[in-house]
Every structure is written in C-alpha cells, then in structure tokens.
Structure 1
Amino acid sequence: MNKFIGILLLILILSGCEEKTVHLGRDISFDKEENVTYGDHSQQKLDLYIPKNKDSVEGIFVMIHGGGWRAGDKSNLTFFTLSLMEKLPDYAFANINYRLADSNSFVLPNQTDDIDRVLGFLAKKFGPKKKFILLGNSAGAHLSMLYGYNSLFDLKYHNKIKAVVNIVGPADLLHHDFANYSDYAFLEKHMIDMKTPTPTDLTNRDVPNPVYWINEKSPPTISFYGNNDQVVPFSQKSILDSALNKNGIYNQSFEFPGGHLDWDNEKNKPFVINKIQEFLKQIK
C-alpha cells in the first residue's frame, strides 16, 4: 500500500511540473500560458505564447480556428502555431477559442465580440500600442476578415489590426458559388442575430460578408486557397482579390494544390508559412 501511495504521489508531482516554456530550437523559446480565461463563458479561453527573454514583441498573432462556426477548437491550430513561432520568434501568439453557434445561438455578433474581447485582454497585457495580426482558417478566416474590415458592431480594437492572414476563408457568403456549402441552411438561420440593430440602409444579408466592408482603410491581407477545395470554392479567391485591388489595399494571394485541409500538410505548410513571413516584412 505504501509503495502504491508513493507511486501516486510521484505521478501527482510530475503532473504538477508541466513545462511552462516551449523550446523551438537554438535561442528560440516562449513562455506558455494555457487555457487563459478572457470572459465568463466556458469557451472563452486562449493559449498564450510570449517570446522569452525579449524586452518587447513585434506584434501579436491571434489564431482563429475553423470548424464551420459551430465546431472546432484552438487545439486544431496548435501545431501550426508552433511552426509559425519557430519562423517568427519576435511575435507573441494567442491561439483562441470562441463561443460556437448552435441551434439556440448565433455566429454574429458573438464571435466578433469574442475577438474584440481577446484583443482588449491582449492590449491590456502588452500595451495599447501593439498591433495585431488576425490569422484564421476556414470559418476562422471569415471571422478574421470580417473583424478586420467591418466596423459595424462597435469593435473597440478594429483599428489595431496590422494584417489579416486568410487561409481558405469564404469572403462572400452570398455568392452563388458558396450555395453548395454543406451547412448553408444552418448559416442562413444562425449567421446573425436578427435582434442586433443595423443601420437602416443595410440588410442582415450584407453584414456577414467581408467583401462588402472592404474600403481604402482595410488592413493588408494575404490569402491562400486550394485549387481543389470542395468546401470553400477556389473562385472565392478572385472575388476577394478583386475587392481588395479595387480599394487599393496591399494584398497577396496564393494557390496551393489540394483541398480544404491541405494547406497544413507536409508539402504546403512550409510554403504558407514562408509566404506569411515574407508578407509581414513588406508591411512593416
């Protein structure tokens, strides 16, 4: 019995000594804070990675996972976040969860409000002068663009966005090429809370579409789309490119071989990360 208790205590001690530093190679390490609370809801959590032994950070990546607005988890982007951290060791990274939509709740304004709340939490921690890079995939990319371009919902940190990184995100949900999306019927009913007040010259169909909000003050944007994506059609790339170019927004967009999830495979991930790194150098 004593031996059993000793083993149990050892397990408890070891579990309490979880490594709080992420080492990514020579002279690259980050302090890690997991499941940090930024709101009262159980889904309002984030993982935070802060460059170790640095007086300040270049900027802050906010990683926004996909999952069709009603599924997914920040853990889906953990390994991609770590890969980015290795390439961009001067940035802090916040990998976030947000309130998911369901039969009794809506995508908007909950999810853009959660991004705003995260940015407020980070601005308090790092200082009000820090700029943010919003990076999302799929539904998370849609939210990244919508927050970066749309000032409708009284978003307090809207003007702190340095850049948007859009990975396979739908830029125009009203375009006919998106009508075959598997959860389109759910989105029609649960994209926006109809009780949310909007200006009289808008309809609730306009509000969720990033391309509608692009203007000459929108943040620089880099995009990636798969040439065989069966979820978000490749044609969304040209729709977004056209709107950004029309408004004179610095942007880059790239095609990768494969489908909706293939941006993160062994072949495409280094390409995506290298392009993000180069893009950030251009907008300093």
Structure 2
Amino acid sequence: MLRKRFWTIALVAGSLPALAQIQPSGVPDTSFTVAGSYQKELKYHPSITLADSTMPASVTVLRNVPYRTINKDRKLLLDIYRKREKQAKAPAILMIHGGGWRSGDRTHNATLARRLADKGFIAITADYRLSTEALYPAAVYDVKAAVRWIKANAAQYGIDPARIAILGFSAGGELAAFTGATNGNKKYDGPDPENAKYPSTVQAVIDIDGTLSFVHPESGEGNDSKSISAGTYWFGYSKAERREIWEEASPLAHVGSSTPPTIFINSSVDRMHAGRTDFIKVLDGHGTYNTIKSFPDAPHTFMFFNPWFEPTLVAIKDFMNKVFPSGKR
C-alpha cells in the first residue's frame, strides 16, 4: 500500500493554516487480492482452500455494464449474474467489494455472485471510487447510484425492485450497512444524482465483517501510529483531526426506523464488527428483524475460503428467503 502523503493546505487570511488533508494519489492500489489473502492465511489455517469459482451451468453473466458516468468520461461498471432460464421477477443482491475503501475490485465477489445466481437471485457486482481516486463520501454516492440504476433497469433484467438487498464484505460491508442505515436520506445520494426519480432505498442488508462504527471503543480503525490507516486515507483526515467525519460515516450514527432487516456474518476478528451490539439494540427497538452468523475461528477474509464459503452462502440464502419469502430458493 502506498504510504506517501499528498497534502492540500488551505490558508485563511489572518489565521493559522487549516488542517492538512490527504488527497487522492491517483495511483491504483492493488495491495488487497483474494490470492494474496489466501497465501497469507495458509500460514495460520493450513487446511483452507479457495472456494470453487467455476461458473454454474445454470448461470450467465453480463459484464462491464456502465451504471454511472462521472465528469463525462469516467464510467463505473457492474456485472450482472443471473439464471439462463427465464424466471419471474427475482430479488437482486447488489454486492460491494472490500479492500479498505482503497483497494480491490468487483471481481472479488464473482465466486459468491455465481453461486447466489444459481440459487435464483440476481447478483450484481459493482465497482465504486476508491480513496486513491476520491475521498468520502464519493463511494457512498456511487453505491447509492448503483441501487437507483438497478431500480431504473429492473424490468430489463427481471429484477423485482421491491426486493433489493445490498451485500458487502469488510469496507464493502460498512458501505452496505451505511446504505441501509441512511435509507431515505437524500443527502447521501450526492449532488445531481442519476436516475433521481428512483429511491436509493434497499430492503435488506448483508454485512460481512464490515464495521458499524469508526469511533466505537471496539473499533480498531484509525490507528496511524505505524502507517496511515485505510480510514485516514478515505476521509482525508485522521480521527484526531476530524472525528466528526469518522462519526458521520459510521452506520451506527444513522440506524433507525428506516433501516431494513440485516444479517451480520462475522469472523473471529471482533474489531471488524465494532458497534454491532449497539446497532442491534436500535434495530430491536424498532422491531426490525436481524440475525448473526458467526465463525469463531475464522479469519477476516473467511468468505473466500473453505470451510466457511458454503455456510456463508447458506446463511445468505436463508436470510434472503426469510425477508423475501415469495418463491423460496
């Protein structure tokens, strides 16, 4: 991961310099890969294997579909996995990849997307702007734009627009939880949103080891003592410099009556689900269905590997059938 700081310092006449903000480097960060994580975890879990990425015969994929254009020429893309056979309107799962809001891409979710499509869901993997390109809340705007795109194009792809779930792993889990927690809050649609007549609300959240709070005592994000943290790169300021941004970006700051049913699928790394207990208390207070699937001995990247991949798939399928009971899969 790049460690060099890129500074922009705003000067106010007659005052001290404003806080220095880390600016996007413009250089892609390829530090997080599934293959690299596998090699790392083999040292601690020698029996693990990569989940089978074979495309099921029943599934087809439409790749490189633009869902958003930024500054006229920057296109954000998604891939759509679905059954080859014609089916009635199906629930969709928008899948957001991890990588510390700085690395990774939509192909990281391809194996899970293929298997979810085989179960009858329409799985959509999407890219979004990372912190090397744009700071928070750009990624939030992009994810919500993807939700609106799905609704605008639901009829074309056989999607039921009333049954859309958002799934994310790690940083993507935080973005998924944030998207659900801010249902109906147009502030996070961003300026001049595409497909503005379609709401960016989702009807379910699948949070796979994504933090619920950057400022919770359980959170480990924001420690810049050895190197710049992923969160500091994303927000442009350290937690000490601009704590209010870190708090605002926390799903826990927004959870309420509009937050949809949520499943938390978690590893043994407690800091990756910081704030979960408090988040659930709010959901319970509103009578909103929620459930936890934990893997006590699993590493953070468990969803990519056996023996955890299949039970993760089952947990997602069962949750989707619980919250969208029509036509169980």
Aligned partner of 2:51 in structure 1 is none
TM-score, with normalisation over the residues of structure 2? 0.67
Check conservation: 1:237, 1:253, Cα contact below 8 A.
no
In 1, the alpha carbon distance for the partners of 2:221 and 2:201 equals 35
TM-score by structure 1 length?
Answer: 0.76
Give 1:173's match in structure 2, choosing from 176, 190, 214.
Answer: 214
Aligned to 1:191: 235
Listed one character per residue, the Cα deviations across residues 49-69 of structure 1 (whole Å, up to 9, x for unaligned) are 233232433211101000000
- Equivalent residue number for residue 36 of structure 2: none
Query: Take 2:229 and 2:55, find their aligned partners in 1: how far apart are those partners?
Result: 44
Match of 1:241 among 280, 287, 296: 280
Q: Which secondary structure state, in structure 2, belongs to the residue aligned with residue 63 of structure 1?
A: strand
Which has the bigger relative contact order, CA under 8 A and spacing at least 6?
Answer: 2
User: Relative to total residues, which structure has the larger helix share, 1 or 2?
Assistant: 1
Inter-CA distance 129–94: structure 2 relative to 1 (3 Å threshold): closer
The equivalent residue for 2:310 is 270
CA displacement 1:10-69 (0-9 Å, x = unmatched): xxxxxxxxxxxx9624xx333x21111122254611111233232433211101000000
Aligned length: 246
Flag as ranges the 4+ runs of structure 1 deviating above 3 A.
Answer: 127-130, 154-160, 179-186, 203-206, 232-237
1:131-170 superposed matches below 5 A: 131-150=163-182, 151=185, 153-155=187-189, 160-170=201-211
CA contact (8 A) 1:136 1:142 kept: yes
Structure 1 range deviating more: 67-76 or 255-264: 255-264
Q: Residue 235 of structure 2 contacts residue 245 of structure 2 at CA under 8 Å; is this kept in 1?
A: no
> For residues 299 and 222 of structure 2, what CA distance do their matches in structure 1 show?
14
The secondary structure found in structure 2 opposite 1:217 is coil
Aligned counterpart for 1:114 among listed residues 136, 139, 142: 142
Residue type at the aligned position of 1:34: R
Correspondence for 2:151 among 99, 123, 135: 123
For residue 261 of structure 2, what is the aligned residue in structure 1?
220
Structure 1, gaps ≥5 residues long: 1-21, 194-202
Q: 1:257-282 deviations in whole A, cap 9, x for unaligned?
A: 21111233111111111111111222
Q: In the aligned structure 2, how far is the partner of 1:45 from the partner of 1:265?
A: 26
Preserved CA contact (<8 Å) 1:64 1:95: yes
> In structure 1, how many angstroms separate the alpha carbons of the residues matched to 2:87 and 2:302?
37
CA distance in 2, matches of 1:209, 1:78: 27
Alignment match of 1:253 (pick from 282, 285, 292): 292
- The structural deviation recorded for 1:135 is 0.4
Deviations 1:163-220 (A, max 9, x none): 1000000001111222455667452463279xxxxxxxxx534321111211122100
Say if 1:139 and 1:169, in contact at 8 Å, map to a contact too: yes
Long gaps (5+) in structure 2: 1-53, 190-195, 238-243, 325-329
Q: How big is the alpha-carbon RMSD for the aligned residues of Structure 1 and Structure 2? A: 2.7
Q: Quick one: distance in 2 between partners of 1:158 and 1:112?
A: 14
The alignment partner of 1:81 has SS state of helix
More displaced stretch, 270-279 vs 232-241: 232-241
> In the alignment, what sits opposite 2:44?
none
Equivalent residues of 2:216, 2:274 under 8 A apart? no
Kindly, what percent of the aligned residue pairs are identical?
A: 20
